[in-house]
Amino acid sequence: MCGPASQLVETAYKLACRARVPWNEVMAVKIASVEWFLVPPRWLFVKVTDEEGLTGWGEPVVEGRARTVAAAVSELQTYIVGADADRIEDLWQVLYRGGFYRGGPVLMSAIAGIDQALWDLKGKRYNMPVYEMLGGRVRDKMRVYAWIGGDRPSDVGMAAKARMEQGFTAIKMNATEEMHWIDTHKKINAVLERVQAVRDAVGEDFGIAVDFHGRLHRPMAKVLAQELRPFDLMFIEEPVLPENDEALREIAQVAAMPIATGERLYSRWDYKRLLAGGYVDIIQPDLSHAGGISECKKIAAMAEAHDVALAPHCPLGPIALAASLQLDACTPNAFIQEQSLGIHYNLENDLLDYVEDPSVFAYNDGFVSLPDGPGLGLKIDEASVQEAAKCGHDWRNPVWRNVDGSVAEW
């Protein structure tokens, strides 16, 4: 026997032999290669292959800076090729501490994708989901929410009702368009009208999250947080930019709903300052930005110690979602998961296009079952990835301006 079939038999034999040997006597398997793939609509995938031919997949990307992160992945691979694939924590430390300059979105996203791939690879090697290697599951399924309205929200009432009819029990919507430091109450009233339309469409038991997206500055964020009090929101998200998180103290004093933030924080050291402030109720680390599964597990534990909930940020692709669900499965303070099916960014391709078995993300009554396959629990359709990577993408977020011509936050 020769070719791919013989390789499968040989790999199966090696795995069977390994299963009968005590773990500390298993021969180390080294990392052989690292490849990345730029795929529509705005994603970057990484594949790590070991010397036995097993592969693990990760999703390292900064939306709008995918090629920059790809360059970082290419640089970081020199630290891990030839290393023991099982030593994930040690490799994480090398990737993080091996450079004098560290942290930030680009480097931490590159590390995140590699970390996801290493966990996927290890789970496949030992034939178990990642969450089983992180202490086992604490739940049987995970609540998810859907996006409505786009960057410039409109027709949100009908969109929310459609999501409810699809089986979701919660949605998230952007609050505003451009907002100046001090802006008109006409824009505030427009937000209130949209949220009222959603509440009228879905009823009082449906979860509504309003994402400020860092578009508001402290003065207007305080106004909007107070005006949204009557709507019984699930949470408001990123009411100010993370560099202005000290303003959360004032916002918390006028808000009557939980405050969520954290998608633009990249390590436990960033979160240390946020959690110490005591004014956030929900943290939202992104497993493709904040150092991957290894780092986000530690961030989640820090949040639990501060009595803060976890809702991982994930408007990205299938690998990022699978990694998030692995963390959700074994994390007590996780309560809801973002996912990108049908999100306004997914124009050319959507969440399930690069997955061999789309049922791995089958949503039912507002929940998704935990993936029970080895590693991240999904199989990537590599042929589709290879074909899509021939075109790649050059996604950029828009640059917005206020009516006076000054640059506005997007």
What is the tens place of the pLDDT at every residue in 127-185? 999 999 999 999 999 999 999 998 888 889 999 999 999 999 999 999 999 999 999 99
Residue 335: exposure state from Cβ atoms within 10 A (0-12, 13-18, ≥19)? middle
72 — pLDDT class (breaks 50, 70, 90):
very high
Q: What is the mean pLDDT of residues 362-368?
A: 95
Q: Of residues 347 and 51, which shows the higher confidence score?
A: 51
Backbone conformation region of residue 287, classed left if phi is above 0, alpha if psi is from -120 to 50, else beta: alpha
The share of the chain scoring above pLDDT 70, in percent, equals 94
Does the pLDDT of residue 266 top 60, yes or no? yes
Q: Catalytic one among 289, 313, 344, 393?
A: 313
Compute the distance between CA of residue 308 and CA of residue 281 in angstroms, rounded to an integer. Answer: 5
Instruction: Report the C-alpha dihedral over residues 284, 289, 294, 296, rounded to 10 degrees.
Output: -10
Tens digit of each residue's pLDDT (9 = 90 or more) over 29-71:
999 999 999 999 999 999 999 999 999 999 999 999 999 999 9
DSSP β-ladder status, 235-237 and 259-261: parallel
188-211 tens-digit pLDDT = 999 999 999 999 999 999 999 999
pLDDT band at 1 (very low <50, low <70, confident <90, very high): very low
What is the model's pTM? 0.92
Question: Per residue in 247-256, pLDDT tens?
Answer: 999 999 999 9
What is the average pLDDT across 68-76?
Answer: 98
Tell me: pLDDT of 119 over 70: yes
DSSP states along 45-111: EEEEEETTS-EEEE----TT-HHHHHHHHHHHHHHHTTSBTT-HHHHHHHHHHTSSS--HHHHHHHH
Residue 12 confidence (pLDDT): 52
In the predicted structure, residue 2 carries a pLDDT above the cut 60: no
Q: In the structure, what pLDDT confidence band is assigned to residue 25 with cuts at 50, 70 and 90? A: low
The CA angle 131-135-138, to the nearest 5 degrees, is 75
The pLDDT value recorded for residue 155 is 86
Q: Looking at the DSSP assignment, which residues form a beta bridge with residue 237?
A: 211, 260
327: tokens are 């963390």
What is the average pLDDT across 111-124?
A: 98
What single DSSP character describes residue 201? H
Per the annotation, the verdict on 289 as an active-site residue is no
Tens digit of pLDDT for each residue in 305-318? 999 999 999 999 99
405/196 Cα distance (integer angstroms): 31
Average pLDDT over residues 323-334: 98
Structure tokens at 278: 């005591």
Is residue 302 a contact partner of residue 277, using CB atoms and an 8 Å limit? no
Q: 213, 217, 289, 393: which one is catalytic?
A: 213
Six token digits for residue 222? 């305080």
List phi, psi (to 5°) of 118.
Answer: -65, -40
What pLDDT was estimated at residue 20? 57
Query: Coil, helix or strand for 338?
Result: strand
Q: Identify the CATH homologous superfamily for domain 132-376.
A: Enolase-like C-terminal domain (3.20.20.120)
The pLDDT of residue 153: 83
227 pLDDT higher than 70 = yes
Q: Which amino acid is at 156?
A: V
81 pLDDT band, cuts 50/70/90, is very high
Q: How many CB atoms lie within 10 A of CB 347?
A: 11
Confidence of residue 23 (pLDDT cuts 50, 70, 90): low
Q: Is residue 343 very low, low, confident or very high in pLDDT (cuts 50, 70, 90)?
A: confident
The fraction of the chain above a pLDDT of 90, given in percent, is 89
What's the whole-number average pLDDT of the chain? 93
